[in-house]
Structure 1
Amino acid sequence: MFDLDIPVFDCIVSSSGSFANLLLIFSGVGVSRFRCVSLLLLCRCLIMEHPGVFELRPSKSAPTIHVRVLRSWVPDYRDNELHFLLVDQEGLGIQAVTKENDCTNVRSRLQIQGCYEISRYACVDVDDFTAVITHPAMIRLGSASVFTPIADTQELPTQYFDFATRRKMEIQAKKERGIVDFIGIYLKLEDKTSKKGRPYVVLTLRDISNQDMSVALWKEIATSTHRFNRRNIETAASPAIVAFTSLKVNDQNGLQLQSTNATYVFVNPHHLEAELLKEMWQSQEPHHPALQIMPDNFVPIADLLQLQTTEIKGRTFNIKAEITEIETTKGWSYKACPKCNQSVLQVNTQWFCTTDGMQEKANTMYRIIVTLSDNTETIKGVIFDQAGRQLLGMTCEQLAEKENPINTLYSLMAKEALMSIQLQHDKRMRTLKCIVNKASYPVVKNIEATSSSVTVTDAIKTPAPTTPGQKGSTATGAKRQLEFDDSDPSLERPGKRSLTN
Structure 2
Amino acid sequence: MSMSMSIKRISEIFPGDPPEALEIRVIKKWRPFTKQQEKMTDICYLLVDSHGDAIEAVVDSNQEEYFQSTISIQSCYTIDKYISIPSRTYMPAIQHRASLRIGKYATIQPLLGKNLPTYYYKFASYKDLPRRMELPKLLTDYIGRIEDVSDIMIRSGKKMRKVIIQDESRNIIEITLWGDKANLIEKRDSMGKILAITSTTVTQFKDKLQLESTTATTTDVNPSIPDLNTYIDRFKNLGETSHHQPREKMITITEVKSIDIADNLQNRYKCVATVIDIQEHRNWYYVICSMCTKKVYPQRNDFVCEDHGLFAEPKFMYCVNTTITDDNTNANAVFFNDSMNELLNISCHDLVITHNNRNPKILPEQISAISGIPLLLYFNFKKDGTIAINKAEKVSAFPPTTPDPKMGSARKARQLATHEDSSGKKSKY
Query: TM range, normalised to the smaller chain?
Result: 0.5 to 0.7
Larger strand fraction of residues = 2
Contact 1:239 1:278 in 2 (8 A): no
Residue 493 of structure 1 is matched in structure 2 by none
2:99 maps to 138
- Equivalent position of 2:26 in the other structure: 69
Are residues 1:150 and 2:116 paired?
no
Tell me if 1:170 matches 2:208: no
**1:96-122: per-residue Cα shift (whole Å, max 9, x none)?**
000143222112211010011111211
Q: Return closer, same or farther for 1:142/1:130 CA change in 2, 3 Å cut-off.
A: farther
* TM-score, length-scaled by structure 2: 0.55
Which structure ranks higher in relative contact order (CA pairs < 8 Å, sequence separation ≥ 6)? 1
How big is the shift at 1:306? 1.7
Q: Distance in 1 between matches of 2:87 and 2:64?
A: 19
Indicate whether 1:241 and 2:279 are aligned: no
Is 1:60 the counterpart of 2:17? The answer is yes
The one-letter code sitting in structure 1 at the alignment partner of 2:342 is L
SS at match of 2:150: strand
Residue 152 to residue 260, structure 1, CA distance change in 2 (3 Å): farther
**Structure 2 SS opposite 1:109:** coil
In structure 1, the partner of 2:62 is 101
Distance 1:123 1:92, change over 3 A: same
User: What is the rounded CA distance, in whole Å, between the counterparts of 2:233 and 2:343 in structure 1?
Assistant: 41
How far apart are the structure 2 equivalents of 1:310 and 1:91?
A: 48
Q: How does 1:6-405 map to 2 (within 5 A)?
A: 50-77=7-34, 78-153=39-114, 155-175=115-135, 177-191=137-151, 193=153, 196-223=156-183, 228=184, 230-231=185-186, 234-236=188-190, 239-253=192-206, 254-271=208-225, 274-285=228-239, 287-292=240-245, 304=342, 306-310=344-348
Aligned residue pair count: 265
Asked if 2 retains the 8 angstrom alpha-carbon contact of 1:115 and 1:152, the reply is no
Measured in 2, the distance between the counterparts of 1:95 and 1:220 equals 23
Asked if the contact 2:24/2:76 (under 8 Å) is kept, the reply is yes
The amino acid of 2:18's aligned partner reads S
- Name the counterpart of 1:356: none
* Deviation, structure 1 residue 176: 5.8
Letter in 2 for 1:263: T
Please tell me the residue identity of whatever aligns with 1:76. Answer: F
Structure 2 residues without counterparts, runs of 5 or longer: 251-269, 275-338, 351-372, 374-414, 421-429
TM-score for the superposition, normalised by structure 1: 0.47
Distance in 2 separating the partners of 1:461 and 1:256: 59
Q: Secondary structure at the match of 1:76?
A: coil
Amino acid aligned to 1:266? D
User: What secondary structure sits across from 1:103 in the alignment?
Assistant: helix
Identity %: 24
What amino acid sits opposite 2:13 in the alignment?
L
Q: Match of 1:256, SS?
A: strand
Distance 1:255 1:305, change over 3 A: closer
Provide the alpha-carbon RMSD of the alignment. Answer: 3.4
- For the pair shown, the structure with the greater C-alpha radius of gyration is 2
Cα separation, partners in 2 of 1:98 and 1:307, compared to 1, 3 Å: same
Maintained 8 Å contact 2:29/2:73: yes
Distance 1:49 1:234, change over 3 A: farther
Equivalent pair of 2:133/2:202 in contact (CA under 8 Å): yes
Q: Is residue 41–residue 60 contact of structure 2 (8 Å, CA) maintained in 1?
A: yes
Deviations 1:379-436 (A, max 9, x none): xxxxxxxxxxxxxxxxxxxxxxxxxxxxxxxxxxxxxxxxxxxxxxxxxxxxxxxxxx
Which structure 2 residues correspond to residues 453-464 of structure 1 after superposition, within 5 A? Answer: none
User: SS at 1:101's partner residue?
Assistant: helix
